[in-house]
Amino acid sequence: MRIDILTLFPKMFENILGESILKRAQDKGKVKILIHNLRDWTFDSHKSADDKPFGGGPGMVMKVEPVYLALEELKAREKRRRARVILLTPQGKKLDQKLVKKLSKEKRLILICGHYEGVDERIRNLVDDEISIGDYILTCGEIPALVLIDSITRLIPGVLGGGDSLRSESFEKGLLEYPQYTRPADFNGMKVPQTLLSGDHRKIEIWRREEAVKRTRERRPDLIKIERERYG
């Protein structure tokens, strides 16, 4: 997969993309992530990518011209792989694991990081999707872009070690993940459940399923409701 990022703040990505699983995924050639400064497609002396909104109002609005020119150039660079263009915005569809899985199958993504008071409405005509990571306001679209990149990259085949670890994670099969433990078996009187120490894989599997259902009912009952509505 190739991911192009259009941003006004390229340095926000450097440390995170250069660490842990994201770094290893790039080193393995599983994903190619390219960061582009939107100001490279501006032409005034100040490299302005924003302006005051027509009609007045607070803040500044991201201009349409730099985004349009950037998309045209990036799409032309690699025509053999159609790019799916995504705008990160609080007005977009809320990101969930189902959407992450869908996007992880794409060959190429172009992410536009919104900023300031918002974006020129005409930018929405240039994108395929608008995505939000939750019902709250952030100062910029760079943070949601990183969330999206991380969630997608880890699902690309070969990025993580085993398929079983992916299948047992939270939000897979509509449930939160079951409790996990490691050594020591007894820490300050807090003991690991005996079932996990038994070596009986069938009992462990049943325990994990029951605990996943229990935890989901306690912490995210809305997920249980969604699954019931989906499957009856």
- How many Å apart are CA 17 and CA 7, to the nearest integer? 14
More confident residue, 201 or 163: 201
Sign of the dihedral defined by the CA atoms of residues 194, 195, 201, 204, in that order: negative
Q: Which sequence spans correspond to the domains of the chain?
A: 2-153, 168-231
- How many Å apart are CA 121 and CA 153, to the nearest integer? 29
Ramachandran bin of 103, using left for φ above 0, alpha for ψ from -120 to 50, beta for the remaining angles = alpha
Domain 168-231: give its CATH superfamily: tRNA(m1g37)methyltransferase, domain 2 (1.10.1270.20)
pTM of structure: 0.86
163 has pLDDT over 60:
no
Q: Facing residues of 186 across strands?
A: 191
231 has pLDDT over 60:
no
- How many Å apart are CA 103 and CA 30, to the nearest integer? 15
Taking only the tens place, the pLDDT of each residue in 44-70 is 999 999 999 999 988 899 999 999 999
Domain 2-153: give its CATH superfamily: SPOUT methyltransferase, trefoil knot domain (3.40.1280.10)
